[in-house]
Amino acid sequence: MNVDRSFAQKHYADLSAKPFFPGLVEYVISGPVVAMVWEGKNVVVTGRKIIGATNPSDSSPGTIRGDYAIVMGR
């Protein structure tokens, strides 16, 4: 699915004062996204473990960022 600018701005509204906000919105709307619904006990904690640390160099092998990310930012 594709996300429009208005939706992306609302979704990331808590980050709107950050200097990277315009670039984040541009990135999110630049192509298709995969929308998922995760449910279950401690799903947010579990999801964050699967994704890995924000900084790829701090991410463990076996996490999405640890296995596939090279640098932080765009």
Q: Token pair 């919105």 is at which residue?
A: 25
Averaged confidence pLDDT in the chain: 94
- The pTM for the full model equals 0.70
The whole-angstrom separation of Cα 50 and Cα 60 is: 10
Could you read off the pLDDT of 22-35 as tens digits, one per residue?
999 999 999 999 99
